C-alpha cells in the first residue's frame, strides 16, 4: 500500500509541484493550505509523513509542528520542513521542535527526494 | 546554428583530452564538447568548435588548453554521494583500520578527482564523528584534481544552498556549516583536516605518498581500458597492505587488473590482492 504524505503549503503552485514529485515517488498525497486545516486532517487520518511550509495564514508551520508533537508524540509522523526561511536559527528551531529534515526553497525533485531519503521516507 | 565539427577538429580535441587527462571522447559524444566548451567559445569570441581547434594548434595555447581540459573534466560532486561507500567507510573500514594500528599511528585518506571538495569533506565529517575511536591519531585527507578552479572552490569550502541540500543531512549542515550571505561555509576544523592539491592521475603518483583509503569514484568511467589499468595499478602502488579502494557504482577492477580483489559482499569496494600485500607497510600515517 502506498504511503501517504500531507503537503501543507498556502501556495497552490508549490502544492502542485510537490504533489507531482511525491506521487512519482510512490506516495498518496493529501493537501492542506494552512496549519489549522493540516491539524484537523491529521486528527481525521494520520499521514505517514508531512511536507510543511513555515509561513502560512491562520496557523504557521512551526505552530502546527508544536501542536502535532504535543498531541501525537515526539517522532510520528516524520515532518520535513519546506520553506523560504533559510537561516540557521529557523533550521535549528524546526529540528528542536521535532522536524526530521529541512528543505530550503526553491527546491527541485532531486532535493526533495534527497531529503526524504535522509528522513528515511524513501 | 554552429558549424558541423570537422574530423580534424574532433581529432584535435580527442587527442588533447586523452593525452592531458585520460578522458576518452567518442564521436557520439561531440555534444559534450558543444555544451561544455560553449562558455570558452563565448569568452574567446570564436564562432564554433572548429575555430577553437584551429586556435589550439597555434603556439602559445597552453592556458587555453588547460581551460578546455578543466571544462571537459569537471564533474558534478555532492556530499555523501551514493551514501553506501560512506556507510562502509564509517562502519567497516575505519574500525578495522584503527584496530590494526597502534594508538599513535595516523591514517591517510585520498579523494582522487576531488572536484569541488564534497567527497573529501564528507569523509572529514565522518572522521570527526568518529573522533573518540580515532583518539589522538592524526588523520590526513588529501584531495587531488587537475582542475584549478575546482581546487580553489574546494579549499574555500563555500557551497550554494542547492549544493548543501544534495545528500547532506540537516544535522550535518547544522553541525559543520555556517551561513555566509547566500552560501554556506564548511567549518574551519574540517577545512584544516583536508588539503587539496593539483594532481593529474595520469602522472607519477608516488609524490602523494601512501594511503590507507582511496576514494576514486566516477573517474575511471571516462578512461579507456589501458588508461584504467595504468591508473588503477598506480593507485595500488600507493596503498597500504590493508588499504581499501572505493570506486563508483558503474566501475570495477575486474577484467582490468589483478592487483585488487573485491571485498566480498561490498559493491565498489576493493582491497589489494593477496599477491600485492607482501612487502607492503601495514600503516604509513604519521603519529
- Residue B224 pLDDT: 92
Residue B60, judged by CB atoms within 10 A of its CB (0-12, 13-18, 19+), counts as exposed
B7-73 and B84-277 in the same fold: no
**Of A104, A112, A122, which to mutate for an interface test with B (greatest number of B Cβ within 10 Å)?**
A104
pLDDT digits (tens, 9 = 90+) for B126-153: 999 999 999 999 999 999 999 999 999 9
Question: What number is the average pLDDT over the span B248-253?
Answer: 92
Count of other CB atoms within 10 angstroms of residue B97: 23
Distance from CA of B200 to the nearest CA of A (A): 31
B165–A107 C-beta distance less than 8 A: yes
Query: Cα separations (Å) of A46 from A25, A70, A77, B34?
Result: 20, 15, 8, 51
- Residues B134 and B164 sit within 8 Å (Cβ to Cβ): no
| Grid cell in block for residue B52 | 577553437
- If you count DSSP H runs as helices and E runs as strands, how many of each does chain A have, helices first? 5, 5
CATH tag, B84-277: 3.40.50.150
pLDDT > 70? residue B18: yes
Residue boundaries of the structural domains of chain A: 3-118
pLDDT bin (cut points 50, 70, 90) of residue B31 is: confident
Q: Determine the length of chain A.
A: 122
What lies within 8 Å, CB to CB, of B186 at 6+ separation is: B117, B121, B157, B158, B159, B176, B177
What lies within 8 Å, CB to CB, of B63 at 6+ separation is: none
- Burial annotation B111-135 (CB, 10 A radius, 16+ → b, else e): bbbbbbbbbbbbbbbbbbebeeebe
pLDDT digits (tens, 9 = 90+) for A63-114: 999 999 999 999 899 999 999 999 999 999 999 999 999 999 999 999 999 9
pLDDT > 70? residue B285: no
Question: What number is the average pLDDT over the span B14-43?
Answer: 88
Beta bridge partners of B262: B270
pLDDT > 90? residue B261: yes
pLDDT bin (cut points 50, 70, 90) of residue B2 is: low
- Residues A27 and A5 sit within 8 Å (Cβ to Cβ): yes
CA–CA–CA angle B44, B47, B48 (5° rounding): 100
Please list every residue in chain A whose beta carbon sits closer than 8 Å to the beta carbon of residue B176: none
What is the residue-wise DSSP string for B212-257?
A: EEEEE-SSGGGS-HHHHHHHHHHHHTTEEEEEEEEE-TT---TTT-
Residue A51: left (phi > 0), alpha (psi -120 to 50), or beta? beta
pLDDT digits (tens, 9 = 90+) for B70-106: 888 877 788 999 999 999 999 999 999 999 998 889 9
Using an 8 Å CB-CB cutoff, list residues of chain A that contact chain B: 86-88, 91-92, 95, 101-104, 107, 110-111, 114-115, 117-118
What lies within 8 Å, CB to CB, of B188 at 6+ separation is: none
Torsions phi, psi of A16, nearest 5?
Answer: -65, -45
- Chain A residue closest to B161 (CA)? A104
CATH tag, B7-73: 1.10.155.10
pLDDT > 80? residue B108: yes
pLDDT digits (tens, 9 = 90+) for A36-62: 999 999 999 999 999 999 999 999 999
CATH tag, A3-118: 3.40.50.2300
Query: Cα separations (Å) of A29 from A8, A20, A83, A112?
Result: 11, 9, 19, 15
B169–A95 C-beta distance less than 8 A: no
- Residues A115 and A103 sit within 8 Å (Cβ to Cβ): yes
- Residue B287 pLDDT: 43
Whole-number percent of chain B with pLDDT over 70: 97
pLDDT digits (tens, 9 = 90+) for B178-214: 999 999 999 999 999 999 999 999 999 999 999 999 9
Please list every residue in chain A whose beta carbon sits closer than 8 Å to the beta carbon of residue B161: 86, 104
Amino acid at each position: 500500500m502506498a504511503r501517504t504524505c500531507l503537503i501543507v503549503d498556502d501556495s497552490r503552485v508549490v502544492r502542485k509541484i510537490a504533489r507531482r514529485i511525491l506521487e512519482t515517488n510512490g506516495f498518496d498525497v493529501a493537501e492542506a493550505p494552512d496549519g489549522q486545516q493540516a491539524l484537523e486532517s491529521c486528527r481525521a487520518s494520520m499521514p505517514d509523513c508531512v511536507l510543511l511550509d513555515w509561513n502560512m495564514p491562520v496557523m504557521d508551520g512551526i505552530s502546527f509542528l508544536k501542536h502535532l508533537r504535543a498531541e501525537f508524540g515526539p517522532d510520528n509522523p516524520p515532518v520535513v520542513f519546506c520553506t523560504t526561511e533559510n537561516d540557521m536559527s529557523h533550521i535549528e528551531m524546526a529540528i528542536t521542535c521535532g522536524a526530521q529534515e529541512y528543505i530550503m526553497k526553491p527546491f527541485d525533485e532531486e532535493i526533495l527526494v534527497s531529503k526524504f531519503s535522509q528522513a528515511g521516507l524513501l | 546554428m554552429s558549424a558541423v565539427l570537422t574530423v580534424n577538429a574532433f581529432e584535435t580535441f580527442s587527442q588533447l583530452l586523452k593525452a592531458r587527462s585520460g578522458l576518452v571522447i567518442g564521436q557520439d559524444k561531440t555534444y559534450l564538447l558543444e555544451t561544455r566548451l560553449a562558455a570558452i567559445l563565448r569568452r574567446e569570441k570564436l564562432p564554433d568548435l572548429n575555430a577553437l581547434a584551429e586556435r589550439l594548434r597555434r603556439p602559445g595555447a597552453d592556458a587555453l588548453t588547460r581551460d578546455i581540459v578543466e571544462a571537459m573534466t569537471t564533474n558534478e560532486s555532492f556530499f555523501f554521494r551514493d551514501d553506501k561507500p560512506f556507510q562502509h567507510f564509517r562502519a567497516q573500514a575505519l574500525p578495522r583500520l584503527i584496530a590494526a594500528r597502534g594508538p599513535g599511528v595516523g591514517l591517510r585518506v585520498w579523494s582522487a578527482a576531488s572536484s569541488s571538495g564534497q567527497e573529501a569533506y564528507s569523509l572529514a565529517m565522518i572522521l570527526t564523528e568518529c573522533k573518540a575511536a580515532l583518539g589522538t591519531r592524526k588523520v590526513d585527507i588529501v584531495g587531488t584534481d587537475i582542475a584549478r578552479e575546482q581546487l580553489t572552490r574546494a579549499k574555500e569550502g563555500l557551497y550554494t544552498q542547492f549544493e548543501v541540500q544534495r545528500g547532506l543531512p540537516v544535522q550535518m549542515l547544522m553541525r559543520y556549516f555556517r551561513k555566509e550571505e547566500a552560501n554556506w561555509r564548511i567549518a574551519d576544523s574540517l577545512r584544516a583536516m583536508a588539503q587539496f592539491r593539483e594532481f593529474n592521475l595520469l602522472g607519477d603518483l608516488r609524490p602523494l605518498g601512501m594511503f590507507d583509503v582511496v576514494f576514486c569514484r566516477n573517474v575511471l568511467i571516462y578512461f579507456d581500458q589501458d588508461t584504467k589499468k595504468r591508473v588503477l595499478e598506480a593507485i595500488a602502488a600507493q596503498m597500504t597492505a590493508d588499504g581499501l579502494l572505493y570506486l563508483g557504482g558503474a566501475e570495477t577492477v575486474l577484467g582490468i587488473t589483478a592487483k585488487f580483489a573485491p571485498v566480498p559482499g561490498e559493491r565498489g569496494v576493493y582491497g589489494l590482492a593477496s599477491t600485492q600485500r607482501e612487502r607492503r607497510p601495514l600503516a604509513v600515517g604519521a603519529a
